[in-house]
Structure formats: structure tokens, C-alpha cells
């Protein structure tokens, strides 16, 4: 049995499309309180001898179901190993979409989760994916990212304190997803001008926003 006495908090940190888990693991280490157990699953299949910072994940371009299953399995094992410890979630882009799907399937976990942070996650459907799908190319991850999951996310955000962080470069988007597609009811929201989609994993302003959100108790926003 895992000795959990030294840990006071679980921090799940999930990468998005094409990525390895290096940047999100580093982000979690920057924001996590002391005595936190960081869980940053890698969704690819490159061998472990490849350094984390050089890993990428081809698998994130295809079916979403295996990714949801992988994240859910990791979370389930973690909750079993640390049954009395609360958790917080940070997820970027596709990683946020995956966690919304995971949480919608596991409402029994909601009371364990203190907060959910979504970084540039196109919960309302990624516009580029919608365009590709409208052309008839409903293949790979495009068909999954074109879906509107607000109806799932808003049920979760009504219970779990949620922060949405969007980036903005020009024309209402971060060069990958639109600001509007990241917004969900009941969630706290901040838009960082000058921060592009990729930089949401690493930018100091993102670190500040997460730390600020965690600095005092939060409640879901009431409509």
C-alpha cells in the first residue's frame, strides 16, 4: 500500500494535442503547494529512454476515447492510492476536453476535487476543427474537437470551482482556439492578451493566475 502521509494534495496536470507531458509537469511543480503529489500522464507511446522534454504524442491526433480511458485509469489508481487526499486539476487545450469527459463519467470524484483549471481548452468546440469537419473531413481528432461540450462542463463547473484561462493574440483567438470557445457558465474567467495557445503552458502570467485562484477559497459563480 502506498504511504500517503507525506502528501497533502494531488495535482493532476494534463497535456494537450501533440505534446509530451514535460511542460505541464513543470507548470504543476511551479504552482503546486509543498507536499503535493503531481500526476502528469503522458498520452503518447514513445519509449521512456527518450527525455521527457523531447517527447510528443502522435496518438493525440486520432481517437479521443483511448485518451479519456488512459486519463481516467490514471486518476482512478491515484485516488485509490491516496484515498484521503483532495485533488486539483490543471489541463491545457485537448487535455481540458479530456478531463471534462472524464469528470462527466465519474461524478463520484467531484467531492475530492478542490478546483479545475482549464487553459485554452475549446470546450465549446474548436473553430478550426469545425471548419475541417464542415468540409466533410470528419476524421481524427478534428471530429472530436468540433463538438460543443459546454453542457457537460457547466454541470461540473456548477459544483467544482473552475478557472478558465484564455490567451489572445489577434481577432479573438490565441492562434489556435477562439477565446469564446473556452468560456463556460459558472467558471471564473481571465483572458491574457499577448499570450498564444502554446504559451498557456509556460507563461509566468498563467502561473500567477493559477496561484491567485488557489490563494483563497473559491466558489462556482452563480448565474
pLDDT tens digits for range 152-178? 999 999 999 999 999 999 999 999 999
Query: Which residue has better confidence, 41 or 138?
Result: 41
Confidence of residue 1 (pLDDT cuts 50, 70, 90): very low
Give the mean pLDDT of 60-81. Answer: 94
Q: Residue 53 pLDDT > 80, yes or no?
A: yes
Residue 97: which H helix or E strand, with range? helix 94-105
> Which CATH class, in words, describes the domain spanning 9-214?
alpha beta
Among 23, 20, 43, 54, which residue's Cα sits nearest to residue 119? Answer: 23
Q: Residue 205 pLDDT > 80, yes or no?
A: yes
Three-state DSSP state, 208? helix
Domain limits of the chain?
A: 9-214
The DSSP secondary-structure symbol of 62 reads S
* Strand pairing class (9-14; 162-168): unpaired
d(CA 127, CA 196): 16
Residue 75: which H helix or E strand, with range? helix 65-81
d(CA 62, CA 76): 24
Rounded (5°) CA angle 182-184-187: 110
Confidence of residue 90 (pLDDT cuts 50, 70, 90): very high
Q: At what angle do helices 150-157 and 94-105 cross, to 10 degrees?
A: 70
Confidence of residue 132 (pLDDT cuts 50, 70, 90): very low
Question: What confidence score (pLDDT) does residue 125 get?
Answer: 87
Residue 42: which H helix or E strand, with range? none
Confidence of residue 61 (pLDDT cuts 50, 70, 90): confident
d(CA 222, CA 207): 26
Question: What confidence score (pLDDT) does residue 142 get?
Answer: 65
Query: Which residue has better confidence, 25 or 138?
Result: 25
Question: What confidence score (pLDDT) does residue 65 get?
Answer: 93
| Distances, alpha carbon 155 to alpha carbons 65, 105, 151, 184, in Å | 21, 12, 7, 10
Q: Which of 32-41, 54-63, 129-138, 171-180 has the lowest mean pLDDT?
A: 129-138
Question: What confidence score (pLDDT) does residue 56 get?
Answer: 81
Neighbours of 189 (CB within 10 A): 15
Query: Which residue has better confidence, 55 or 114?
Result: 114
Q: Residue 137 pLDDT > 80, yes or no?
A: no
Q: Residue 73 pLDDT > 60, yes or no?
A: yes
Amino acid at each position: 500500500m502506498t504511504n500517503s502521509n507525506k502528501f497533502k494534495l494531488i495535482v493532476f496536470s494534463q497535456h494537450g494535442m501533440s505534446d509530451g507531458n514535460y511542460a505541464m509537469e513543470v507548470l504543476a511543480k511551479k504552482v503546486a503547494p509543498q507536499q503535493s503529489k503531481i500526476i502528469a500522464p503522458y498520452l503518447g507511446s514513445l519509449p521512456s529512454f527518450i527525455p521527457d522534454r523531447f517527447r510528443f504524442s502522435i496518438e493525440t491526433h486520432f481517437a479521443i476515447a483511448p485518451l479519456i480511458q488512459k486519463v481516467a485509469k490514471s486518476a482512478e489508481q491515484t485516488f485509490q492510492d491516496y484515498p484521503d487526499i483532495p485533488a486539483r486539476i490543471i489541463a491545457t487545450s485537448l487535455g481540458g476536453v479530456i478531463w471534462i469527459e472524464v469528470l462527466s463519467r465519474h461524478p463520484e470524484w467531484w467531492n475530492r476535487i478542490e478546483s479545475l483549471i482549464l487553459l485554452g481548452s475549446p470546450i465549446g468546440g474548436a473553430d478550426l476543427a469545425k471548419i475541417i469537419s464542415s468540409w466533410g473531413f470528419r476524421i481524427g481528432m478534428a471530429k472530436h474537437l468540433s463538438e460543443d461540450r459546454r453542457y457537460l462542463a457547466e454541470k461540473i463547473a456548477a459544483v467544482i470551482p473552475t478557472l478558465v484561462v484564455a490567451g489572445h493574440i489577434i481577432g479573438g483567438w490565441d492562434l489556435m482556439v477562439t477565446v469564446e470557445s473556452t468560456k463556460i457558465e459558472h467558471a471564473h474567467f481571465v483572458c491574457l492578451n499577448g499570450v498564444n495557445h502554446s504559451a498557456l503552458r509556460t507563461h509566468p502570467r498563467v502561473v500567477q493566475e493559477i496561484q491567485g485562484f488557489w490563494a483563497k477559497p473559491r466558489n462556482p459563480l452563480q448565474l
